[in-house]
Amino acid sequence: MIKINKKSFEGYYKKSIKERQEILSKELLLTNEEQKLLEKESSLSFDIADRMIENVIGTFPLPLGLATNFVIDEKEYVIPFAIEEPSVIAAASNAAKLSNGFITENDEQIMIGQLQLINLENACESKKKILENKEKILKEVEKVDPILVKFGGGPRDLKVNILDTPRGKMIEVQLLVNVGDAMGANAINTMLEKITSVIEEISGGKHVARIISNLAIYRRTQSKTIWTKEKLEESVKGTMKGEEIIERILDLYEFAVATPFRCATHNKGIMNGIDSVVIATGNDFRAIEAGAHAYASYKGKYSPLTKYYKNSNGDLVGEIDIPLALGLVGGAIKVHPIAKLNAKILGLKKVQDLASVIASVGLAQNFAAMRAIATTGIQSGHMKLHAKNIAVQAGAIKEEIELVAQKMIELKEVNQLTAEKIIEEIRE
């Protein structure tokens, strides 16, 4: 077991990338091959990476694939996914192929900034005074970013809540701002810091937190589509009636409504697709995940982010309603060369186009998983695509990989042991 000597990493951030790699290599006794891996530059150069995060020693490439067949608001898309998991792209592409196309709606890009006040003599009195000065405060906010205001963004409202906490009464001031095509964290946090003294003077309170909220309930996107019983029946080559598939999907959906244990995986299935496109476009997937799951619990019970029902035709309607705090300006999308390329592949003009794509991908991903579970079971499709990975893990090389994968699928035994046996037979 290699023991790290933390002294060797003192002042690590002041070293060059090369020096950091050497220190790591010496401390961890890296092999030549491992050192070469670290030193190998990808499409994200070390120079750019070194400006994006701290203590850079290399980059961590992920597979980048395209989901196909998507028609969103009557526009055709191929959608870049950055993800390590097999079958996610196939599933999204299949769901899009089986759909009638996605129609979306977007809220304004309104983000919430929170300012926390403590040491209040009389919280009700303070709340009243802040609200009496709302217009004055919002005028102060406008001065912070006149360009944003010029392009239609800027402050929209100020809300004040009194919170009873074990540490006494607090006030939460919510500043609502249209942040334009940015995710908005920098703009909001700057605005909050600028108006703190004004609000402290008015309220007599003392600030603690001044920070954006990731529960972006005023910045949601809805997407909706129909999957017809005919297309569903075709998708399983007639082995199951379309009506029956729809009934089983509705049973599965209500199961997720009824228990958080299923609901967590239901929503994870949605985020499989959402995170892949969020990462591929250089956005903050932690912010998206936090906002999505917080919104899923917002009405008091952790619930599905999608909903399904039958229309008068007996076809399946799917809808998603989800907060999406995304940026087309300001974040890594302007710095990371592949994120820029992916934005070009999507032909993005404004951030709400990206939100429409991502919400539709989440709905498609969720439907695909439910369709698979409700019909053939998740493993048949998933393992069909995973078989190649298993073959490689078992030691298959070059053309053996396809042969071993095919043989395992025929045998319906996709596992390492079977793969090793098939490799032995092939080599004999």
Distance, in Å, from the CA atom of 362 to the CA atom of 270, rounded to the nearest integer, reads 4
Distances (CA, A) of 168 to 15, 123, 128, 130, 211: 47, 10, 18, 19, 21
Tell me how far, at minimum, the Cβ of 372 lies from ligand HMG, in Å. Answer: 4
45 Rama class: left (phi>0) / alpha (psi -120 to 50) / beta? beta
In the complex with ligand HMG, the residue whose CB is nearer, 64 or 198, is: 64
Among all residues, which ones are annotated catalytic? 85, 268, 284, 382
With contact defined as beta carbons under 8 Å apart, do 358 and 223 qualify?
A: no
With contact defined as beta carbons under 8 Å apart, do 210 and 192 qualify?
A: yes
Tell me how far, at minimum, the Cβ of 272 lies from ligand HMG, in Å. Answer: 5
Contacts (Cβ under 8 Å, ≥6 apart) of 424:
none
In the complex with ligand HMG, the residue whose CB is nearer, 77 or 218, is: 77
Distance, in Å, from the CA atom of 248 to the CA atom of 126, rounded to the nearest integer, reads 54
Helix/strand number for the chain, H first, E second: 17, 10
In the complex with ligand HMG, the residue whose CB is nearer, 109 or 235, is: 235
Residue 127 tokens read as: 């709340």
In the complex with ligand HMG, the residue whose CB is nearer, 69 or 223, is: 69
Tell me how far, at minimum, the Cβ of 423 lies from ligand HMG, in Å. Answer: 22
Got the DSSP string for 239-265?
Answer: SS-HHHHHHHHHHHHHHHHH-HHHHHH
- Residue corresponding to tokens 């032995």: 424
Neighbours of 102 (CB within 10 A): 26
Amino acid sitting at position 341: L
Tell me how far, at minimum, the Cβ of 384 lies from ligand HMG, in Å. Answer: 7
Question: How many CA atoms are closer than 13 Å to the CA of 123, on its beta-carbon side?
Answer: 16
Tell me how far, at minimum, the Cβ of 415 lies from ligand HMG, in Å. Answer: 18
Tell me how far, at minimum, the Cβ of 74 lies from ligand HMG, in Å. Answer: 20
Residue 15 main-chain phi, psi, to 5 deg: -85, 165
In the complex with ligand HMG, the residue whose CB is nearer, 153 or 381, is: 381
With contact defined as beta carbons under 8 Å apart, do 43 and 82 qualify?
A: no
* Angle between helical axes of 185-203 and 134-144 (0-180°, round to 10): 140
Tell me how far, at minimum, the Cβ of 364 lies from ligand HMG, in Å. Answer: 10
Distance, in Å, from the CA atom of 130 to the CA atom of 143, rounded to the nearest integer, reads 19
The residues binding ligand HMG (CB under 6 A) are 68-69, 85, 87-91, 93-94, 97, 235, 265-266, 268-269, 272, 368-370, 372, 378, 381-382, 385
